[in-house]
Amino acid sequence: MNRPSCLRAALALAFAASASSASALSIEFDYSYDTHGFFTDLATGAPMTERRALLDLAATFYGGFTDALTAIAPGAGDQWSVSFMHPSLGGPAVTLQNVDIAADTLRIYVGGSPTAPGVLGFAGTGHSLQASGDAAFVDAVTTRGQTGTQGTQAVDYATWGGYIWFNASNDWYFGADEAGLNGTRPDFLTTATHEIGHILGFGEADSWFANIDPDSGLFVGEHAMAAWGGAVPLDRYLDHWAEGTYSVRDGVPQETMMDPSTPFGERQLPTALDYAGFADIGWQVTAVPEPQAWAMLLAGLGVLFRHRRRLP
Ligand SMILES: [Zn+2]
């Protein structure tokens, strides 16, 4: 069984957030740096709508996160910047300058390019975050207005957003319908949802590491402990559940989404343990997509993607 892995980007800065409100987390994808044609037809400039729709579908698995995130809105005298790896490996590091990011919103810059097979993708939140100006503005940039997001006692997490690179050398399955997935292909939806999870602090946040027992190396967040029935084993880098960790999704046993790899031909979306981990990072996980809602969403996309369906 081929088990391509998620290669974590080097730990970027982890700063963080959370609070409670009723608004759903919104994730915007930005294709400005999709320079190698992973989400864009380079010949025509047209967007590859199927692939982009799958990213939007991946984001819906975090739509039940209801933290209120302060907008990043630079005014006169305010400045912020952050740098990150080019998401298509298509040039020097990207540095964002004074970008506006709406309340309750994260922006994720995406791209892809070919490299050696085996790795599916990686994600991060960047480095060299700087902010200056009005104190409230600086707080918005560094914590999105949340408290307890930094340090060894962190209990919460927030970020401006992040970036994801996908390995274009893989024979990706770009379908919403799981029925079309077969045993020789990695599932793009699974990888996209997994990588977004890292940007949301899984294996990244100070509050993630604050929940790891230093003696045992086990994850001891209260929500995860309740879901697992005890301290949860992690992989050796302490940024995923241990390989092969199982939980349940919609009442059905499934390998966790946030273990390091997913076998070809399988779809692994967030399980109860995955969501519990996000709750321990500090996200207000008030609801997860219900099976019925998910089925309806799939039915709608099924029409859109029918011509792409492949029989197993
Ligand atoms: Zn990963």
Distance 127 CA to ligand 1 centre (A): 18
Looking at residue 3, its pLDDT comes to 62
Distance 208 CA to ligand 1 centre (A): 14
Q: Is the pTM of this model over 0.85?
A: yes
Distance 262 CA to ligand 1 centre (A): 10
Mean pLDDT calculated for residue range 83-103: 96
Looking at residue 127, its pLDDT comes to 96
Structure tokens at 281: 């990072």
The CA angle 39-42-48, to the nearest 5 degrees, is 30
Distance 44 CA to ligand 1 centre (A): 33
Looking at residue 2, its pLDDT comes to 52
Mean pLDDT calculated for residue range 194-207: 98
What confidence category does residue 116 fall into, taking pLDDT thresholds of 50, 70 and 90? confident
In three-state secondary structure terms, 88 is coil
- Cβ atoms of 185 and 48 within 8 Å: the answer is no
Distance 118 CA to ligand 1 centre (A): 13
Looking at residue 20, its pLDDT comes to 39
Query: Which among 102, 106, 154, 153 is positioned nearest to 126, based on CA atoms?
Result: 106
Distance 259 CA to ligand 1 centre (A): 7
Mean pLDDT calculated for residue range 129-141: 97
Distance 202 CA to ligand 1 centre (A): 8
What confidence category does residue 16 fall into, taking pLDDT thresholds of 50, 70 and 90? very low
Looking at residue 84, its pLDDT comes to 97
d(CA 174, CA 304): 12
Looking at residue 215, its pLDDT comes to 96
Fill in the DSSP letter of residue 8: P
Distance 121 CA to ligand 1 centre (A): 8
18 pLDDT more than 60: no
Looking at residue 90, its pLDDT comes to 85
Distance 6 CA to ligand 1 centre (A): 4
Dihedral angle computed from the Cα positions of residues 140, 206, 127 and 243, in that order, rounded to the nearest 10 degrees: -130
14 pLDDT more than 90: no
Bridge partners of 119, per DSSP, are 5
Distance 240 CA to ligand 1 centre (A): 6
Distance 96 CA to ligand 1 centre (A): 24
**Cα atoms in the 13 Å half-sphere on the side-chain side of 127:** 8
Looking at residue 6, its pLDDT comes to 67
Distance 137 CA to ligand 1 centre (A): 31
pLDDT tens sequence across 255-310 = 999 999 999 999 999 999 999 999 999 999 985 544 444 444 444 443 333 222 23
Looking at residue 134, its pLDDT comes to 96
Query: Percent of the chain having pLDDT more than 90?
Result: 80
First-residue to last-residue Cα distance in the chain? 17
Strand stretches in the chain, DSSP E: 26-30, 79-84, 94-97, 105-113, 121-124, 127-132, 161-167, 246-249, 252-255
Distance 176 CA to ligand 1 centre (A): 21
pLDDT tens sequence across 57-79 = 999 999 999 999 999 999 999 99
Bridge partners of 97, per DSSP, are 81
